[in-house]
Structure 1
Amino acid sequence: MTTMSDLSHDLVEEIIRRVSITSLGAARSTCKLWNALFKDQNFTKHSGTSSSAKEIMLIMIRGCRAHLMSLNLYDIHNRKGWIDVSVKEIGKLNQVEIIEVIHCHGLLLCVTKDHSRLLVWNPSGNIKWIHPKSNNFHTLDRFAIGYDNNNHKFKVLRFYYWSSHIEYEIFDFKSNSWRVLDVTTDWKIHRRGVSLKGNTYFIAHGRLQVEHGEFLRCFDFTRERFGPRLPLPFHSCLDDSVILSTVREEKLAVLLKRFGEYEIGIWITTNLELNEVLWSNLLKVDVELYAKPFRFPHGSFFVDEKKKVAVIFDISRETWTNYEPYMVQQGGYYTGVDLKESDRWMLMCSYAPILMHIQ
């Protein structure tokens, strides 16, 4: 009788590729051989779950629990010739109550509701708890996750502002400890960052806020330093809505909606280095004719470069507590997207599953 250990390596890899993301933990516990494969970096780096090119995977929070969602850009057009979009739930990620989730290379950094600790999670069922040096984390703390490009070891950045005081700390997975970074900045970060190729990018502004407008800053987890000021493809200030996103883990994207105006613009990078960035405009849409105004105080968006379609999550104008998705497309098309749920949805981020073992 054939057992699990008798299956070829190629067949096991193909089986795991077809396993539902939310069932990877169970697959890992099937036998000792499979559990060992999940710890093999050569296997996990090249073995992700398969997904359709027309689907974008999201992590969304509802009731302080993370849910795995699939955003589908339909190939079929509607009667007006525009692309249709749907969002459906794939599974629930059952862990402690969280209020924020940040994605980096298959890992999810989760901030617990009580700010007592951080949880790093991946779909293979592997988790890691990160505790503060003393007491709890502060409600004003900001976090980012990335990795050293020399050895692919993950790190967590923590920073917080106390009046004129700014402090930066980093948690190294290898040493399993926090240490203070000797970093001095004359600018502040006030928007959520996004991770791309091991680094995290932020929208920042000078201490005098609107003196020189907003700009891009990259935190390099290899050197553990912020890079130089990088230009955005426009001039903006704090009242404008500026949101960062990624394009399939390959490019950076930025959305601009100026305060009091109706035009939405989205740009993507054509070249992105630590010391240089070049932008190209992807689409512009005027939403003046639509009843619900866009403001995006803390929103997020996901874009399909080929179809020139963006799905934007914005605060509901009816409840002011949950997010609602809308789709915009080059040529002026704008429509709501049905989540098929009446419960409150909160923060969300894109997600690309990779079976990366947590050190």
Structure 2
Amino acid sequence: MVVKILPKVPITSLGSVRSTCRTWEAISEKHLLAAASKNQFLGFILKDFDVCSMKFDLQGIHDDGNDFILPSVKEVSRLDQYEISQIFHCDGLLLCVFKDNNNSRLMVWNMYLNQVRWIKPSDVFNRFSKSGVYALGYDSKTRNHKILREKSHGDFGYEIYDFNSDSWRVVKGNTPDAYTQFEEQGGLSLKGNTYFLAVQEYPVRFEGDEEEGVDGEDTSPTRVILLCFDFTKESFGRRMKLPFHSEGDGQDQVSLSCVRDEKLAVLYQDYKTLDIWISTELQPKASWSEFLKVDLMTLDGFPDDFVAGSFFIDEEKHVAVVFEKEVKIGSCCSAYIIGQDGFFKAVKIGDAPAQYNRLPFVCTTAFAPSLVDLKNVKTSVKRKRKFLNLFHFLVDLFLSSSS
């Protein structure tokens, strides 16, 4: 009976299930790990600044019968008291950035253990911007999780939050210059590192092109590129080419996704076509294979004003599920399943938003329960910090009394 019921339980409620007994804990973990093999996609979506969990099952999409199961979208009760502007997923953890632009905290949530860690800025002036650059990843050698953010005050630069030490430090490795503009919600975690879509605002030179006899400099005034932040080295890598040319001027649309936490997928849409590529290699140089190319003009019932946002793909069924980037008041939230030979299906995933809203979406086809204990900050580190604070206080007191 339990085995039949648990697959229907939302992923955000499994934390309560696992705490009931060891048997239920094992069954709930097995349920999550088996989801990807059953064409079930687990993820999160933002609607009116509320975080909702979503379960999307692609079995039966090509059938005319009743085998296709409509997506399940449910508001996360654990987070319903907060207004959230950005969400990022890595390794079973969810990083939440709040809508308030004078934010004094970030929140990381382990949905499986149902634990939360509140993170304060490095100083009172560096509050967290609702539209700032953020990333969640981990050190591949130690599995220590970290957060990257762009500083909001003072000199241009980036900071790293270290989960083990519960502290911030300045990124000393390679960082982008001021002419590189990151796309909002444009970062995606893959194997512990984060890949960003960015717009380079001057002619771009890509390393290695000259060796292949290709002109390495792009003379366009702007170009969308791919950048990787390595959480092990704590440094940005070199610029990487995408398999198409986009100037990032709003005339087309570019989005990133991942395939089973193994490969990147990138979507490119202009006014008449939608193309998706999958990475065959990312290091030391990006290479891509075309997954799907669709002439949107030939899809009967496809909306004329559609702008692609987040997406995910099913390699086995050779289809892509694409979500609208923006949803207007009075229109329902929809997902569009697009495949080869003109296959197209529109699926409603929720009611119209209360306000004009963007729909950032975090989806993973390889969701696994995270056992990262967010409450376990090393006691020795806390003691050391308290000792240093006391030491600095006594030094200041001594200096002031001596003067």
TM bucket normalised to smaller: 0.7 to 0.9
Q: How does 1:273-284 map to 2 (within 5 A)?
A: 273=283, 275-284=284-293
User: What residue number does 1:314 align with?
Assistant: 324
Correspondence for 1:58 among 43, 46, 54:
43
Correspondence for 1:355 among 343, 362, 370:
370
C-alpha change, 1:73 and 1:321, in structure 2 (3 Å) is same
Correspondence for 1:69 among 25, 48, 54:
54
C-alpha change, 1:76 and 1:322, in structure 2 (3 Å) is closer
For the Cα contact (< 8 Å) 1:292–1:317, is it kept in 2?
A: no
Q: Distance in 2 between matches of 1:17 and 1:72?
A: 12
Q: Distance in 2 between matches of 1:23 and 1:339?
A: 20
What SS does structure 1 have at the residue aligned with 2:349?
Answer: coil
User: What residue number does 1:3 align with?
Assistant: none
> Which ranges of structure 1 fall in alignment gaps of 5 or more residues?
1-14, 39-43
What SS does structure 1 have at the residue aligned with 2:14?
Answer: helix
* TM-score relative to the length of structure 2: 0.72
Offset at 1:84?
Answer: 5.8
For the Cα contact (< 8 Å) 1:140–1:160, is it kept in 2?
A: no
What SS does structure 2 have at the residue aligned with 1:74?
Answer: coil
Higher relative contact order (CA 8 A, sep 6+): 1
What SS does structure 1 have at the residue aligned with 2:297?
Answer: coil
Q: How does 1:76-115 map to 2 (within 5 A)?
A: 77-79=62-64, 86-89=70-73, 92-95=76-79, 96-97=81-82, 98-114=84-100, 115=103
Identity score, percent: 37
User: What residue number does 2:138 align with?
Assistant: 147
Structure with greater Cα Rg: 2
Offset at 1:269?
Answer: 1.1
For the Cα contact (< 8 Å) 1:104–1:145, is it kept in 2?
A: yes
For the Cα contact (< 8 Å) 1:69–1:88, is it kept in 2?
A: yes
User: What residue number does 2:315 align with?
Assistant: 305
Correspondence for 1:21 among 6, 11, 29:
11
Correspondence for 1:131 among 108, 111, 120:
120
Which structure: greater strand fraction? 1
User: What residue number does 1:9 align with?
Assistant: none
- 1:221-241 CA distance string (max 9 Å, x none): 000001111111111111321
- 1:111-166 CA distance string (max 9 Å, x none): 12323311111122122111112333124421100000010000000015789x63
Which structure: greater helix fraction? 2
User: What residue number does 1:257 align with?
Assistant: 269
Tell me whether 94-103 or 22-31 shows the greater mean CA deviation: 22-31
Aligned partner letter, 1:271? E
For the Cα contact (< 8 Å) 1:54–1:72, is it kept in 2?
A: yes
Aligned length: 334
For the Cα contact (< 8 Å) 2:332–2:351, is it kept in 1?
A: no
User: What residue number does 2:110 align with?
Assistant: 122
Q: Distance in 2 between matches of 1:67 and 1:323?
A: 13
Aligned partner letter, 2:201? R
C-alpha change, 1:53 and 1:272, in structure 2 (3 Å) is farther
C-alpha change, 1:332 and 1:16, in structure 2 (3 Å) is closer
Aligned partner letter, 2:145? F
C-alpha change, 1:177 and 1:53, in structure 2 (3 Å) is same
Q: Distance in 2 between matches of 1:321 and 1:227?
A: 41
* TM-score relative to the length of structure 1: 0.81
For the Cα contact (< 8 Å) 1:128–1:358, is it kept in 2?
A: no
- 1:244-293 CA distance string (max 9 Å, x none): 000121210000013xx3100000012232x2222100000111244433
- 1:166-189 CA distance string (max 9 Å, x none): 321110111111112134423332
Offset at 1:350?
Answer: 0.4
For the Cα contact (< 8 Å) 1:154–1:173, is it kept in 2?
A: yes
Are 1:241 and 2:253 matched, yes or no?
yes
Q: Distance in 2 between matches of 1:93 and 1:353?
A: 21
Correspondence for 1:159 among 141, 147, 150:
150
Are 1:219 and 2:229 matched, yes or no?
yes
Tell me whether 193-202 or 212-221 shows the greater mean CA deviation: 212-221
What SS does structure 2 have at the residue aligned with 1:23?
Answer: helix
Aligned partner letter, 2:231? F
Q: Distance in 1 between matches of 2:332 and 2:128?
A: 25
